[in-house]
Structure 1
Amino acid sequence: MDNEIYEAIFKDKVELRKEKGKKFINEYELKEDLGEGSFGKVKRVTRYYKETEESAEQNKSDYAMKIFHKTVLSHQRTCFYESNSNDPKMTNLLEFADNEINIHKYLNHPNICKLYEVIDDEDDPQQKIYLIMQLGDLGCIMNFCEITFKYIRNQAILDYLKMNYMQAAKLLFKQLAQAIQYLHEHNIVNRDIKIDNIICTTLYPLNECCKLIDFSTSRIAEKDSIFYDCAGTPGFRAPEVQFCLNDGYSPFKLDVWSFGICLYVYIHEKLPFWGEGDLETDLLARDQPLQFEIQDDLLINLINSCCAKKPQDRPTIQEILDHEWFK
């Protein structure tokens, strides 16, 4: 973990231009769409630069650019629950986007996708916010082994991973646990950890290949905080989130459940609970036990403990990292 104080660069001027048929936002050339985030579109962008003023050649780096449309988000109303309160307040999605930026811009960990720059110009006629982030060029971790065998030339590493698929899982999920531990140590809960939000950005070094992305539902929380809002993605979220109207839930234990589900999905290549709708999916998660197709007792124990029906029975992230399966 990097303990140095970090903050993404903030720029309050945006310049939109075209050069030789190419579109630019400031120094970033817009490329293809990469997908849709919770609050906006994500595009690949390329930044061109020179190492020194005297350099004849230009270098380039690719990034992901997440684009928020402020006007659209400000007109979309939603409920917001403050920590330890079940009294909903009305707000808009722009407030949620601002919350995501205010949390993500300080995060500095090798297993968390870094936010480098925020461009927010109040005079921008398009009324957009642009986030420049680390690019997950190698895709979702579900493709990790295929990616590894394609790009890594170190035969010893390839033989090690081919010999035991579980070694790849240990490599990736130890990194995911370390990312969550970093968040929890800084009183941040993610609340939407899912397999699509765990990507590979590099294979060198291997211990930094796994990155957690998307902090749109993240919140600041104390260790004893109780939340009452419904967060997370059906299939990956803990059942108490759907059934928390009276008692609330611990957001830290929600992240632990989601970690366990992601590990299950990586091993089995399917969700353990899936119904015809969100409510049925959450009911299955609440009422049905996990069904395993593996013989690894330590791994089964780890996943079962993370996905204990009672949140208080789930381990802390440190206890996950200390589990025998990771030895």
Structure 2
Amino acid sequence: MSKTIGSGACGEVKLAFVKSTCKKVAVKVISKKRFRMSTSSDNEPPISVDTEIEILKKLNHPCIIRIENFFDSVDSYYIVLELMEGGELFDRVVTSTRLQEPTAKLYFYQMLLAVQYLHENGVIHRDLKPENVLLSSTTEECCVKITDFGQSKILGEASLMRTLCGTPTYLAPEILNTAGTAGYSNAVDCWSLGVILFVCLSGYPPFSEQNGKIPLKNQITEGKYTFIPGAWEHVSKPALDLVKRLLVVNPDERLTTKEALEHPWLQDNNMKSVAQKLMNDIVHSMPPPLTQKPVSRKRAHEGEQEASTSKYSEQFTAATEKRAKM
């Protein structure tokens, strides 16, 4: 076990090495005490961590982080994950101000394939955000992988999730409208994907507490977001159209992952060819880490959510204000 490379509501992620091979991995250490506190308000019968880990270990997709091992000690759970040297999508967006559209398209296509696979296997992520999208390397063309299934639930045939969870900025309207007391479907992930695509293309979040005129909850439940001309002038109309079709308040009218993959913006054979090559490349090339200091933050949890969301939005404030003056 080596240095800490990330932190969350229930624990931290550490860099580690397999003794026999010196292979680098990431180990997520979850405090059992903090985990019990975070799940105590769940309205559904709890699923044991080891059962959920076993199910997730069976998932096999190039754009979903691979769980390599799992250990259960007296005080903590240890989840051994493949290491992604490129860090989080969040840091890539903040460092670059925003992604170039071809890069955003390459990353988003892979995200859609991963989430489609999850949904086909009865898993809803429920906490999709740039912090939970990892990059295989520091190069612009790289494989991306969805991670952090701490909020996900395995779905039975007739069950829908009723737990209010996730990061407020990325929560779907139907979750906020019912305060988590009514059932909701995998369409919540498609809303979150729409928010992620908005951030990647523009460099600022569509819903933010920085907008003092309308409370964050109302912005989301009413689908009120603002396109700042300076941030979107170089974004194509098809890309903008896909964002709008994902950020639809009514989940029945929102694009599914399958429909999103069929959208004109993603009918790019060259991009798909690159994506397939990256996804099939088992051994990723690993350039030296970025010299920029990563953005420091903790992930939101219960009462911390609003403060965390505000801090997250502040990362985009300078760029947003600059564009607003254009």
Q: Which moved more, 1:165-174 or 1:226-235?
A: 226-235
Bigger relative CO (Cα 8 Å, ≥ 6 apart): 2
Q: Residue 120 in 1 paired to residue 72 in 2?
A: yes
Q: Please, which of 252, 263, 267 is the counterpart of residue 312 of structure 1? A: 252
Aligned to 1:132: 80
Report the Cα distance in structure 1 between the residues aligned to 2:31 and 2:94, rounded to whole angstroms.
36
Select the structure of larger CA radius of gyration: 1
Give the fraction of aligned pairs with identical amino acids, expressed as a percent: 26
Q: Residue 105 in 1 paired to residue 40 in 2?
A: no
Q: Residue 215 in 1 paired to residue 155 in 2?
A: no
Q: Residue 291 in 1 paired to residue 243 in 2?
A: no
Retained in 2: the 8 A contact 1:224–1:250?
A: no
Distance 1:146 1:245, change over 3 A: closer
Aligned to 1:60: 22
Q: Secondary structure at the match of 1:312?
A: coil
Aligned to 1:48: 19
Retained in 1: the 8 A contact 2:193–2:246?
A: yes
Q: Residue 173 in 1 paired to residue 97 in 2?
A: no
Q: Residue 269 in 1 paired to residue 203 in 2?
A: yes
Report the TM-score, using the length of structure 1 for normalisation.
0.70
How far 1:204 sits from its partner (Å)?
A: 9.1
Which string of whole-angstrom CA distances, capped at 9 and with x for unpartnered residues, describes residues 13-70 of structure 1?
Answer: xxxxxxxxxxxxxxxxx11111213422111001232xxxxxxxxx421111011233
Q: Residue 198 in 1 paired to residue 133 in 2?
A: yes
Q: Which moved more, 1:175-184 or 1:288-297?
A: 288-297
How far 1:285 sits from its partner (Å)?
A: 1.1
Structure (1 or 2) with the greater strand fraction: 1
Aligned to 1:253: 187
Report the Cα distance in structure 2 between the residues aligned to 1:145 and 1:245, rounded to whole angstroms.
30
Kindly provide the amino acid, as one letter, of the partner of residue 167 in structure 2.
Answer: T
Matched length: 258
How far 1:73 sits from its partner (Å)?
A: 3.5
Report the Cα distance in structure 2 between the residues aligned to 1:296 and 1:246, rounded to whole angstroms.
36
Q: Secondary structure at the match of 2:221?
A: helix
Distance 1:188 1:130, change over 3 A: same
Q: Secondary structure at the match of 1:254?
A: helix
How far 1:76 sits from its partner (Å)?
A: 6.1
Aligned to 2:10: 39
Q: Residue 184 in 1 paired to residue 143 in 2?
A: no
| Unaligned residue ranges in structure 2 (runs of 5+) | 268-326
Q: Secondary structure at the match of 1:251?
A: coil
Report the Cα distance in structure 2 between the residues aligned to 1:76 and 1:196, rounded to whole angstroms.
19
Report the Cα distance in structure 2 between the residues aligned to 1:45 and 1:269, rounded to whole angstroms.
32
Distance 1:41 1:257, change over 3 A: same
Runs of 4+ in 1 over 6 A off after TM superposition: 145-148
Q: Secondary structure at the match of 2:162?
A: coil
How far 1:226 sits from its partner (Å)?
A: 3.4
Aligned to 1:243: 177
Which string of whole-angstrom CA distances, capped at 9 and with x for unpartnered residues, describes residues 245-296 of structure 1?
Answer: 597243311000000000001111111111279x931211122433224252
How far 1:147 sits from its partner (Å)?
A: 9.8
Which string of whole-angstrom CA distances, capped at 9 and with x for unpartnered residues, describes residues 67-98 of structure 1?
Answer: 1233454466622223xxxxxx7x6xxx5744
Report the Cα distance in structure 2 between the residues aligned to 1:127 and 1:37, rounded to whole angstroms.
17
Retained in 2: the 8 A contact 1:189–1:255?
A: yes
Report the Cα distance in structure 1 between the residues aligned to 2:262 and 2:41, rounded to whole angstroms.
38
Aligned to 1:81: 43
Kindly provide the amino acid, as one letter, of the partner of residue 59 in structure 2.
Answer: L
Distance 1:251 1:275, change over 3 A: same
Q: Secondary structure at the match of 2:110?
A: helix
Retained in 2: the 8 A contact 1:228–1:244?
A: no
Distance 1:105 1:322, change over 3 A: same
